[in-house]
A and B are shown apart, each in its own frame.
Chain A
């Protein structure tokens, strides 16, 4: 099973490329020229995105390294004990909307600490797998087209994140507990 999945993920990108190139060749598209034009547009987009990336990296860096994140977790701890949510999982839930790589690091730590096939390791895996980096995606996506009013989208993303998180805990305890 695992071998098959590794194969699928290794093959998907080359296959997509071959499919697109073959279709382009068949329809007599001037592949190289069209590609270069698209790539230029892509570079312009990234250039516009850099300030947003900068803003997120600095804010999250400060929030984490200063210990403010840990403080939040300690404050929330009594409530968590009441809901029977392990504090380690809260770190993951709080970090995931902010930074994908940081959350991945935490998940890797949790897997080391509890074992990947323990209940806790499996729940952490589910929580990691079901969520998106809400702040990052939103500021990138809205920033790239200069939308200033996000309206309800941030709240929407966080709601769906929270729903998935609680579902991960309950389904995880049910399936692997």
Chain B
């Protein structure tokens, strides 16, 4: 599916540029955005490396196991197959907490670390496993308690009450996450059914 999306974005971009007589724009846009992508990756490399290092320290110190214990009732329901895998559950809990607090810089390295650990338990390495899909549903649901960037731009725009959106944002993101999780469950029923037919 991502193949189709990428193709559509590129082709529709090139065709629109051609039709509107802006074909020269194409090579310029490619040049600008490739440089931007590399700059962005370099910036990202620093944060990811730093927080991966700190995460390793947290693991060695037993902090992740403690956090896993805190989230256990909730995580056991969502990841029944991971019961007893304290290290993975701890990393999942940390990644989710970073997302909840709106700590984007920390959330990405933690999310990627979680993916690496879940992938180790994945029987088919080419394909999303049930646990990975559930984790992605939680991340993509965008559950947020403290949308700090949003509050900052509202304050910058001169809002009298920049933080008024906190509770509605939490409720709506909870709803979105819930819809994602239900979709995930239903999709698995269909996938299993499809599999049997083969």
Contact = CB atoms under 8 A, between A and B. Distances in A.
B33 A45 contact: no
The B interface is mostly helix, strand or loop, or mixed, namely helix
Contact residues of A: prevailing secondary structure: helix
B40 A27 contact: no
Contacts of A108: 153, 156-157
A34 B60 CA distance: 8
Nearest to B156: A108
A165 to B, nearest CB: 8
B42 to A, nearest CB: 9
A59 B10 CA distance: 5
**On chain A, which size bracket covers the interface?**
35 or more
B165 A129 contact: yes
Contact of A149 (B127, B154, B173): B127
A158 to B, nearest CB: 9
B2 interface: yes
A17 B166 CA distance: 25
Contact of A42 (B50, B136, B163): B50
A122 B150 CA distance: 11
Contacts of B108: 140
A125 to B, nearest CB: 5
10 contacts: A13-B103, A24-B57, A54-B38, A58-B10, A63-B9, A66-B25, A115-B158, A130-B142, A148-B126, A150-B128
